[in-house]
Amino acid sequence: MPDDLSRVLEGLRSGRLSAAELLDESLAAARGQSCEHAFIRHFPVPQRLAAPETPLGGLAVSIKDLFDVAGQPTTAGSRVLADAPPAAADCPAVARLRAAGATLIGHTNLSEFAFSGVGLNPHHGTPVNPVTLALDGQRRIPGGSSSGAAVSVAAGAAWAALGSDTGGSIRIPAALQGLVGFKNTARLTPMDGAIPLARSLDTACAITRSVRDAVLLHEILSGRPVARLNRPLAAWRLAVARPLLQDDLDAGVATAFERSLTALRAAGADIVDIDLPALRDLPPPQARGALVAAEAWAWHHELLARREAGYDPRVAWRIRQGERVTPEILQVALAARQRYIASMEASLQGIDAVLSPTVPVVAPLLQPLVDSDESFFAANALLLRNPGLVNALDGCAISLPCQRPGELPVGLMLWAPALRDEALLNLALLLEPLLPTH
């Protein structure tokens, strides 16, 4: 699947390509070795595909197993929901994709209940990162929680994947697999009819192969057009914040990030270093996680009381942290978040977007994280650190691949406060062809 969705749609509409043939290729890939453990269930293929003139032209799209699809159970990658009844109707996000002409091919695997940035699933197996496997032969993590979603796109089974992002669950697997992951401002896309992790932070969004595709999927999911802004690169003001966001970078990420900044500056980008005091004053991780833990506990506590033995122990342990979040602690956490948002918005006045590594490392090896709780939780915290700061901001962000061909994937994250989605996507369209990957 060398092309992106937008280019293939042009071929469909010209009659040069066949939607039926492309769907056959997608379905073969979905059942191939590269997609092993990527899907929890495959959907029946409709006898009649959408017309090429529809926005998605009948092409294959995968759905994370959090979103209701009519006639299918929704199980969040968990054994404890194995007896869930089929959904009576599509949730709004899925309905919008179907109405836009998507052929829905299956529910994709994920970290159980979307509660991890690593992507491991002990119930359904963990899909291996197909991009890094082809590059160095090592079995590396796919990233999570939208693990199967990213693999479905990277392996050629889907042209786009619906997923969710609560603390980085779209951008982490996109970065680790050389894809584009756009996390919109949460309120712009509906999460109704989806199993929640933390309702205050959950975002419905997509993984794609290009920024053009990300724009198209956001237009469909949000139900609004993205206007194209006629602004040259030099008219945008970009920023780099050094503290925290660039701590503990591995050599591959550090090199790719600095190389990307050099390429953008050479093309005329105005990039300034800024200080973000809110990042220096962050509360400890336990306090920052209070909101997610409390909201997860509120949804899970009755199910945990009946079926905890069926949970992934690492997921159950994290959910149970919410049991300790008193109303007083939660109010402190909510107030701290509002102060953080206010401080960040003040610091980013006049800045169109901040540039940072999406995650500080290339995809870690899989087996050590399966074997060791200590290694797993350390990797999980590191992967969630940068993208999670944007969710706390209620902001928007996009991860773009920025490694050179032949190198392990690295993500460059562009991010901004809430409701700057349209500008951010326009900026990403400008920057994408300037990055070393292209």
Q: What is the pLDDT of residue 286?
A: 63
Residues 370/429, Cβ–Cβ less than 8 Å: no
The rounded radius of gyration (Å) of the Cα atoms in the chain is 20
Tens digits of per-residue pLDDT, 135-177? 999 999 999 999 999 999 999 999 999 999 999 999 999 999 9
Active site residue 147: no
- Structural domains in the chain, CATH included, are 1-232+358-438 (3.90.1300.10)
pTM: 0.98
Tens digits of per-residue pLDDT, 107-128? 999 999 999 999 999 999 999 9
- For CA atoms 182, 185, 188, 192, the dihedral sign is positive
Q: What is the pLDDT of residue 243?
A: 81
Active site residue 116: no
- Per-residue pLDDT band for 1 (boundaries 50, 70, 90) equals very low
Please give the helix or strand (H or E) that residue 103 lies within, else none: strand 103-108
Closest CA to 219 of 231, 205, 209: 205
Residues 247/343, Cβ–Cβ less than 8 Å: no
Active site residue 169: yes
Q: Say if residue 2's pLDDT is above 70.
A: no
CA distance 389 to 245: 9
Residues 400/377, Cβ–Cβ less than 8 Å: no
Active-site hit among 26, 34, 62, 64: 64
Active-site hit among 169, 210, 260, 399: 169
CA distance 232 to 235: 6
Active-site hit among 145, 147, 152, 399: 145
Helices then strands, each counted (H, E), the chain: 16, 11
Tens digits of per-residue pLDDT, 226-253? 999 999 999 999 999 988 999 999 999 9
Closest CA to 114 of 296, 347, 330: 296
Query: Would you call 426 helix, strand, or coil by DSSP?
Result: helix
Give me the mean pLDDT over the 30-48 stretch.
Answer: 97
